[in-house]
Every structure is written in structure tokens, then in C-alpha cells.
Amino acid sequence: MESRRLGITVTKKTGNAVKRNRIKRLVREFFRLNKPLFPTGYDVVVMAKRNMPSLKYQDACRELTELLTRKANV
């Protein structure tokens, strides 16, 4: 059985612990609800960048969905 795995990297430069944990929670929740978008048999690593604006869950979902569908078509 092929599995899908997720890695999340958020450095201290991204912000305080509250902001870092929120980013990780958003990405984990997106992964939990949208596993079919993630390629089977691959590990996906999400790296949060510095100076990232505060996103609502819907905004994060839209951006991650766009990224994953664009990568799947390449």
C-alpha cells in the first residue's frame, strides 16, 4: 500500500510560537481533509517562508490546492 506523508517546516524567523503553530495546524488540517490531492507514494514537505501574511483557512486551502493541482499537471 502506497502512503502519503506530510512534513511541515516553520522556522523561528516566521514569527512567535503562536503564529508558527497556527501555520502548522492549517497545513495539517488541509492535508487531513484533502488527501486525494497529494500524490500517492511521495513525501510532501511544506516550508513556511518568513514575512508570510496571516491567512485565513480558506485562503490557505486555495493556495495549497492551486499549488498541488499545478504540480500534478506538470
pLDDT digits (tens, 9 = 90+) for 23-69: 999 999 999 999 988 888 889 999 988 877 777 889 889 988 998 88
Supply the CATH classification number for the domain 5-68.
3.30.230.10
Q: Where are the domains of the chain?
A: 5-68
CB 7 within 8 A of CB 46: yes
Q: What does the block give as the cell for 19?
A: 503564529
pTM of the model: 0.83
pLDDT value of residue 37: 87
The pLDDT of 3-28, averaged and rounded, is 92
d(CA 26, CA 5) in angstroms, rounded, equals 16
CB 34 within 8 A of CB 65: yes
